[in-house]
């Protein structure tokens, strides 16, 4: 089962390594990991998407709360948070296919952020389903490169 955790930590050296090490020590495979400072420069938010059963997750949360620099740990259940992901995707788009690729991007309210003769780069922000749907439609054109931020989430 997939879980989204939000871990508020002190913005200090080595905190991320300790948090990530705790996950690997418990046998969790991290699907995505996102870290950034908050509005308070002394704190950072780590958003982690991982897979595991409820018993392992409960133990993991308890272990996280014991770490010295951890301020708060939230486990977002379905519907408890607003979550988004940013994706940049470079797609093959020659003169014949360019209009169709741009049309697909427009349907998803994505932005074209770079354009060349052979390809274009599309930026999209949305939930997992929206990102996956766009990538599925762009695949036949040829995805040349892909960069994803991983999930970001805040409690409703």
pLDDT at 57: 85
On the question of pLDDT at 55 being above 90, the answer is no
Are residues 32 and 62 located together in one domain of the fold? yes
Look at the chain and report how many structural domains it folds into. 2
**What is the band of 66 on the pLDDT scale with cuts at 50, 70, 90?**
very high
Q: For the segment 70-120, what is each residue's pLDDT rounded down to a tens digit?
A: 999 999 987 888 999 999 999 999 999 999 999 999 999 999 999 999 999
pLDDT at 6: 94
Among 76, 103, 132, residue at a domain's last position: 76
User: How far apart are the C-alpha atoms of 9 and 93, rounded to whole Å?
Assistant: 43
On the question of pLDDT at 29 being above 90, the answer is no
On the question of pLDDT at 1 being above 80, the answer is no
The whole domain housing 55 covers 2-76
Among 76, 95, 111, residue at a domain's last position: 76
Among 42, 57, 76, residue at a domain's last position: 76
3-state secondary structure 93-141: CCCCCHHHHHHHHHHCCCEEEEECCCEEEEEEEECHHHHHHHHHHHHHH
pLDDT at 124: 98
**Model's pTM, two decimal places?**
0.82
Are residues 62 and 119 located together in one domain of the fold? no
């Amino acid at each position: 089962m997939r879980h989204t955790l939000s871990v508020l930590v002190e913005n200090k050296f080595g905190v991320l390594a300790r948090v990530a090490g705790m996950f690997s020590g418990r046998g969790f495979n991290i699907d995505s990991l996102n870290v950034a400072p908050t509005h308070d420069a002394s704190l950072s938010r780590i958003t982690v998407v991982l897979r595991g059963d409820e018993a392992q997750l409960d133990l993991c949360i308890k272990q996280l709360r014991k770490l010295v620099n951890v301020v708060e740990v939230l486990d977002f259940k379905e519907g408890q948070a607003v979550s988004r992901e940013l994706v940049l995707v470079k797609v093959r788009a020659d003169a014949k296919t360019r209009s169709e690729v741009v049309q697909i991007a427009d349907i998803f309210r994505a932005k074209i952020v770079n354009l060349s003769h052979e390809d274009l780069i599309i930026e999209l922000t949305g939930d997992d389903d929206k990102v996956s749907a766009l990538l599925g439609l762009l695949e036949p054109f040829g995805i040349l490169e892909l960069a994803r931020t991983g999930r970001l989430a805040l409690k409703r």
